[in-house]
A and B are shown apart, each in its own frame.
Chain A
């Protein structure tokens, strides 16, 4: 049972329990009762018993209009919504009751009044576009207002005082304007005051009452019990001596409407002041009462006066009592709550501004003068952080204050600046500096450059959206249906940036050498058997005799080597250091070629084979390589080309040709220039080739001779990717075809090779004395 009761709710209107069989959970009593009641679109008046003209009849009478639908049964006729195709606008077509047409004097009055009314041109008055008579109807063609009348609006919900106080001045403006033209409305009531969906106020049926001659509308009751055509809005003098009314009657009617908007009730008999029923200050009471004065001499004498008084109230924020002091009417002292600037917003913006300045000063100094000293950091940095932090917090407090003040506090832009400037700036700095820092130190790939642009763009978009969204939040603006497009752009950009970074964490500089650079790592395909190549010793100056091992410890036995050709000069400048690397090769097989050295971190290296006197059983290779000055260790590779040759292309190559040949999952691109025989009878062939791992292959072109043997070509010149091969004294006619073949280098890896010895002292070295080490230290070259 309890669950059943828990599920049953109460009707918000009548308070009764909603029965279990109620459709869609709504109270049947209230819903159906509401459905049975009329819409309140104005009483039938003299049209209560009149026949509604059919659409066809109306359309026939007005061929220049598209008649759309009947939108109301006014007290003075039927109103249709129509459209003027010629002008592409909607209009309201009001047809006056047939019985009027039978009144002979009506025609004259209609024309006279009609002309006067058509002159009324005011934004708060429903304009009359045209009027006249067709065969069947007297009609008025009016502005179409897409909205509701005040009666319907009041039925949909009670007006807040602020709303009511905003509507009244507009009615006053319309009335004032009309009164100045000498036109009275005479029938101001909620049904005649229209509100469009944008909240504009328009008064309809100006002067129609007089035009139609309805001085005393009938009081009728329909079966559903609604009263229509009430005289409650009419001024006393209008009821007593209708021929002697002036514009002040309209002011009375306005007062009734005003009262009804505020309290929901009509001011009948002994009625309570509005402040007793709704939260307004007694100033409002005074104004309302004065408009409702029975004696018209005591009323406001013009609509303009009413407007001024009402606007006076609004300026002083009359929606909020209490009254501080009482004075004569019009000089009331009220606790002012007019919109003012939020102090917190001002302070917050100031603090943040100061913080930025304090951060900017040392930065400027750092750029101009020397570096950023600790002292400067302290003096400027700490207060800046404090000011920024305080300002930011204060900014958020100010925003919250403004939001909850309901329009009483101003200063959203300042507060937004204070609240967001520091956090957004920090975010920007962090996000931007990471990739840019990285980019500046090495050649960036396309993806990295993209990331470097995307992340700041994303953050910028986010910053823009944050400012926009915060402003709207603080201003309590209604959320519009359009989703924040900016926000989604930011999210998209950020996601892309994150994805790219996730796949290449190296971009964030997480794997770096001491200087923070990494080049794409060298991936050896094949490995040499251990011990075949050994990095025997390292030195800066081969003739000095001071060598160390790859781990930095000094060498026991210094190799005596003779350097062929011109000795390489160590280049000791500020930025680079040159070292000599001595490799030992042993156990090589016939046909192995090399070595080839690859040092990813070096700025350049040269190789030179050295001859070591017989007896060692090994061959030596000396490499000179340059490194950044502060680099302490490096990784390098030495390889020998061995194994079977693999043929990529064979052809007579008499003409230029190019090939794309896949090998082990990568493509070789080879282009041959036509083979030629030079004047000395040598055959020359040139080729250019490309491969992602070109340096890992040894390339050869051989010639298959007509007699069936194969002859290797002589490599005249090989630059990176270009071959020039000669077959000496081999005429072209002898050669049947050429063979382009490759084979891999097999690599030995040398990790963490020290470029500086661990000890500069000469302990444990043979053959070197203090003298030598001194010479070493001064960097003089010692010739042998």
Chain B
């Protein structure tokens, strides 16, 4: 039985979801289905972004749902931005657009948006404080890298659950649990002997198992990332960027 070669080039997978969307600009039923799957997968970064802006959970959830509904309904957002580039960049751009539109429509000030001084009089205690806060937070917008970090964490989480499910399907959940810490790399703090014993493997067999787990994880991550990239994009560059974003201090 010939399997697909397990190499990380886009062409080997056939069109990825985002590729499909871009090609047809979201106009075919397949493209719409693909887009909806992508939105479902990357709900978390959007939600986190909205929370980060200062909303509570309920408000953020509602807004996220509205955004996605809008996106999926229209296929494009606002000025009919063509669907292109990476899904990650696209989604963030679309989200920002959506928020700006909404703010304009509702005619209210929100953090990170425009600032209108309501009165030139000596401001009252409470109001003064509020305005000052607004000013302060205007400079403190949620950076794009924060979104990207959430994105990277989502990719990681999805790859891990996919791997976990694979192992569970092969009835090797225990192996997954024991080997998982080695995904971070080799470390003196990890005890391979105890782990090997726990799984009933010899030391060499254990090393082989670790290597295979890492390889599978790598492939899963690459597949996951590939789903959000357009044709001909450099997977490795995206991966490297995500690693960079994770490596820089959070917040």
Contact = CB atoms under 8 A, between A and B. Distances in A.
Interface of A: 11-14, 19, 21-24, 26-36, 39, 52, 54-55, 59, 66-70, 147-148, 152-153, 155-158, 160, 163, 195, 197-199, 223-224, 478-481
Interface string B192-208: 10001100111111111
19 contacts: A11-B184, A12-B184, A12-B187, A12-B189, A13-B187, A13-B189, A26-B180, A26-B183, A28-B156, A33-B247, A36-B239, A36-B243, A52-B9, A152-B207, A153-B208, A156-B182, A156-B207, A195-B208, A479-B200
Interface in B148-186: 152-153, 155-157, 159-160, 164, 180-186
For A26, A67, A147, A156, the residue with the greatest tally of chain B CB atoms inside 10 Å of its CB is: A156
Contact of A148 (B4, B211, B221, B242): B211
B108 interface: no
B250 interface: yes
B56 interface: no
B237 interface: yes
Given A13-B187, A23-B157, A478-B200, A197 B152 contact: no
A24 B221 CA distance: 15
Interface hub of A32, A152, A197 (most chain B Cβ within 10 A):
A32
Contacts of A59: 2
Nearest to B150: A21
B7 interface: yes
Given A36-B236, A157-B186, A224-B236, A70 B5 contact: yes
Given A24-B157, A68-B1, A197-B208, A32 B236 contact: no
B186 A13 contact: yes
Interface string B1-27: 111111101000000000000000000
A195 B204 contact: yes
Contact of B207 (A19, A153, A478): A153
Given A32-B155, A34-B185, A52-B9, 12 more contacts: A33-B185, A34-B214, A35-B218, A39-B211, A39-B214, A39-B215, A66-B2, A152-B211, A157-B207, A163-B204, A198-B204, A478-B196
A196 to B, nearest CB: 8
Contacts of A70: 5-7
Contact of A68 (B2, B188, B222, B236): B2
Interface centre among B190, B192, B208, B215 (most CB of A within 10 A): B208
A22 B155 CA distance: 11
Contacts of B237: 223
Nearest to A27: B184
Contact of B181 (A26, A67, A480): A26
B246 interface: yes
A28 B1 contact: no
A67 B5 CA distance: 10
Contact of A13 (B159, B185, B200, B207): B185
Contacts of B250: 19
B240 interface: yes
Nearest to B183: A31
A478 B197 contact: yes
**6 smallest beta-carbon distances between A and B, as pairs:** A23-B157, A12-B189, A156-B207, A30-B184, A12-B187, A13-B187
B67 interface: no
Contacts of A480: 200
A646 to B, nearest CB: 67
Contact of B190 (A12, A27, A163, A479): A12
Contact of B211 (A21, A68, A156, A481): A156
Nearest to B240: A36
A679 to B, nearest CB: 87
Contacts of B157: 23-24
B34 interface: no
B209 to A, nearest CB: 9
Contact of A32 (B2, B152, B180, B192): B152
Given A67-B2, A152-B211, A481 B200 contact: yes
A113 B183 CA distance: 42
A480 to B, nearest CB: 6
Interface string B96-131: 000000000000000000000000000000000000
A72 B54 CA distance: 49
Contact of B2 (A27, A55, A155, A479): A55
B107 to A, nearest CB: 34
B48 to A, nearest CB: 8
Nearest to A73: B7
A28 B207 contact: no
B217 interface: yes
Nearest to A482: B200
Interface string B224-241: 000000000000110110
B95 interface: no
Contacts of B202: 199, 478
A52 B2 contact: no
Given A26-B184, A147-B208, A31 B156 contact: yes
A478 B202 CA distance: 7
A66 B1 contact: yes
A36 B182 CA distance: 15
Contact of B184 (A31, A198, A479): A31
B171 to A, nearest CB: 12
Given A19-B250, A478-B201, A479-B200, A35 B5 contact: no
Contacts of B164: 24
B221 A32 contact: yes
Contacts of A35: 159, 183, 214, 217-218, 221-222, 239
Nearest to A158: B186
